[in-house]
Structure 1
Amino acid sequence: MKITMVIVLYKLEPEESKTFKTLKQTLFLQKEHLNDIELILYDNSPNRYEFDPHNYKGIQISYHHDPRNLGIVTAYNIAWECAKRNGSQWLLLLDHDTELTSAYINEVLNLTGISSEVTAVVPKINSGNMMISPMFSNALRPLKEERPVEGIQNQSVTAINSGALIRVSFLNQIDGFNTSFSLDFLDHWLFYEIYAKGYKVLVLNVSLEHELSVMDYSRVSLDRYKSILESEMFFYRNYKKDLYSPYRIQLTKRFFKQLITVKNKEIAMYTLNKLFSMLREPNLKG
């Protein structure tokens, strides 16, 4: 089974990436599998880092520097094109700060007999003491709800990009990743499409650690929050339309909470501004 893997880097040397470090400690030791692996390091940093793929024997590694910093969608689409040329059956998506484990790598390398209805395979992802992925996608506040357990998910779920293994044939069917989501909510769109097209997700019985800074408003700049909110609104307006009206109510509650608890009041004011624009819209029908 051939796999193309892509690690998206930003302002971090490849060999300082937690993901790359743990790949060296896990995947690179699996000598019998390395001929079937293509690893792409896609660097969105302003300046190119020195990295020599020839230092690593037995595995195909390429380093791409793109100072335009067009988000992750460009990196993913280039990796998808590489996967097609390589004849890979799966594309593995990775951020630069996911801590991979031997248990996870062994599961990925030994996937056999997977039903054709399964187009994505994901681990459980923890941030601190909280499981943040996967989550059921029929609720606006899934972190407050019950989490999926391992196995094939008949009920629709969503998962974060990092650690997700996606069938290349499915990406071919949907013509790659949606450029309307350059960074935020690309994962929500992807897993929405999986279930909209009648496919399913397999959750592995392994867990990974991943730092999710967007959960903490004290660490999110106003510009970053604007990007998140714009993508979030676009997703519910154009895809999860059945949740759009409840989403507007939730956003109202978010504004009041931000007004009280978030130090940077510009974030709350931006939420309020977007609320006013949304309240002038008619209700959307799913």
Structure 2
Amino acid sequence: MNCPYVVLVVVFKRGLEDSQTLMALREQQGLFPGAVLHVWDNSPQPFLHLDMLKEAFPALRLEYTHTPENYPLSRIYNSIIDEYRHTGRYLVLLDHDTELTSDYWKEANELTQNSSEKKNLILPVIIAGDRIVSPAKLYHFLGRHFQAAPSGDIPSRYLSAINSGMIISLDYFQRSGFRYDERLRFYGTDDYFMKEFQRKEERCFVMTARLYHSLDYFSDRETVDQKVHRFAEIVSGILLLNRANPFIALGARAYVFSKALRESLKHRTLKFLAAGWRSL
């Protein structure tokens, strides 16, 4: 099999109609026919099944994996890389709630099929609220948002990006031997990929297409306890990604403590400080 895309969608306690991503893909599947759609269901009980997906996506080849253990994203991504790196051209990473557009697929097709120069990494511009959240600049553990979206071929140095919407050449995984660090669970996999990518590749490509995404940590839909859990995962990833250099590691620890203090004051609870302390 040599398909144009392997499209991975990771869901948790979401059925077809509860996933903004899957609903958009169902409407847009004619824009990327022949692709593999691999739905990875991390729910305790299966929320989807293969026959239902095949009925909803007749233009695509369907694969479905259910892991009630709630596998870390890093483990899921490594499994997908191992399964498809010899058989597909590009891996598209998606979570359950990204607002995909037809412009995204049209531009992706132009860049992956009609471009004379192969691109190892293609990134959409992702908007959350009124802010450009991806790509962004990340200086070790300090991030900075772009005020105006970059586009085209740009340097990869100090660049960060959100997983959802990334288009990665499967040949890149084959050549580089890249693997995700499976100590990272649900946060930090995107920063880890970008940090490793810039060690080997000097440039990547940013699309003009915009995607819209919700960042659960900043929404009012989550309880404080849910935010504390996410916070603990985030700071654990920050510390893991910045452990190599002792001076940077010390700075990361100070940053985590100050962030925990700010969140505790903001939400009027010591739970964030306790989570930050446990991470240190």
TM-score using structure 1 length = 0.84
1:22-81 C-alpha deviation (Å, 9 max, x unpaired): 11222x133xx412x111000000001343233132310111111110122222222223
Q: Do structure 1's residue 184 and structure 2's residue 187 form an aligned pair?
A: yes
2:227 is equivalent to residue 230 of structure 1: no
> Is residue 11–residue 39 contact of structure 2 (8 Å, CA) maintained in 1?
yes
Q: How does 1:130-209 map to 2 (within 5 A)?
A: 130-138=131-139, 140-143=141-144, 146=147, 149-156=150-157, 157-172=159-174, 173-209=176-212
Secondary structure of the corresponding residue to residue 46 of structure 1? coil
Larger deviation, residues 194-203 vs 265-274: 265-274
Question: Runs of 5+ in structure 1 lacking a partner?
Answer: 278-286
In structure 2, which of residues 11, 17, 20 is the aligned counterpart of residue 18 of structure 1? 20
User: Partner of 2:94 in structure 1?
Assistant: 94
Rounded to whole Å, the distance in 1 between the matches of 2:214 and 2:246 is: 29
Q: Is the 8 A contact 1:184 1:228 kept in 2?
A: yes
Query: Matched residues, percent identical?
Result: 21
In structure 2, the partner of 1:280 is none
**Deviation string, structure 1 residues 196-230 (Cα, Å, up to 9, x no partner):** 11342211011111111123585534333222221
Q: Does 1:250 align with 2:250?
A: no
Q: Which amino acid aligns with 1:253?
A: S
Q: What letter corresponds to residue 33 of structure 2 in structure 1?
A: L
RMSD: 2.4
2:107 match: 107
Q: Distance in 2 between matches of 1:273 and 1:57?
A: 48
Q: 1:215-226 alignment to 2 at 5 Å?
A: 215=218, 220-226=226-232
Equivalent position of 1:41 in the other structure: 39
The whole-number CA distance in structure 2 between the counterparts of 1:114 and 1:80 is 25
Could you tell me how far apart the structure 1 residues matched to 2:180 and 2:69 are?
18
- Confirm whether residue 213 of structure 1 aligns to residue 219 of structure 2: no
- Counterparts of 1:48-87 in structure 2 under 5 Å? 48-51=46-49, 52=51, 53-55=53-55, 56-85=57-86, 87=87
Following TM superposition, by how much is the alpha carbon of 1:272 offset from its aligned partner in structure 2, in angstroms?
Answer: 4.2
Do the aligned partners of 2:133 and 2:145 also contact (CA within 8 Å) in 1? Answer: no
Matches of 2:140 and 2:243, distance apart in 1: 15
Unaligned 5+ runs, structure 2? none
The correspondence of residues 117-136 of structure 1 with structure 2, limited to 5 A, is: 118-136=119-137
Residues 44 and 94 of structure 1: CA distance in aligned 2, closer, same or farther (over 3 Å): same
CA contact (8 A) 1:3 1:83 kept: no
| 1:261 pairs with one of 260, 266, 276 | 266
State the one-letter code of the partner of 1:113.
S
Rounded to whole Å, the distance in 1 between the matches of 2:27 and 2:271 is: 43
Q: Is the 8 A contact 2:239 2:253 kept in 1?
A: no
Aligned to 2:5: 3
- The answer on whether the counterparts of 1:40 and 1:63 sit within 8 Å (CA) in structure 2 is yes
Q: Distance in 2 between matches of 1:140 and 1:230?
A: 12
Q: How many residues align?
A: 268
Aligned counterparts of 2:216 and 2:59: Cα–Cα separation in 1: 35
Counterpart Cα distance in 1 of 2:255 and 2:116 = 38
Shift of 1:153: 1.9
2:203 maps to amino acid: K
Q: Which amino acid aligns with 2:217?
A: V
- In structure 1, distance between residues paired with 2:47 and 2:264: 41
The AA in structure 2 aligned to 1:66 is: T
Q: Distance in 2 between matches of 1:186 and 1:147?
A: 25
Query: Which AA in structure 2 matches 1:151?
Result: G
Deviation at 1:248, TM superposition (A): 3.3
Distance in 1 (CA, whole Å) between partners of 2:148 and 2:194 is: 16
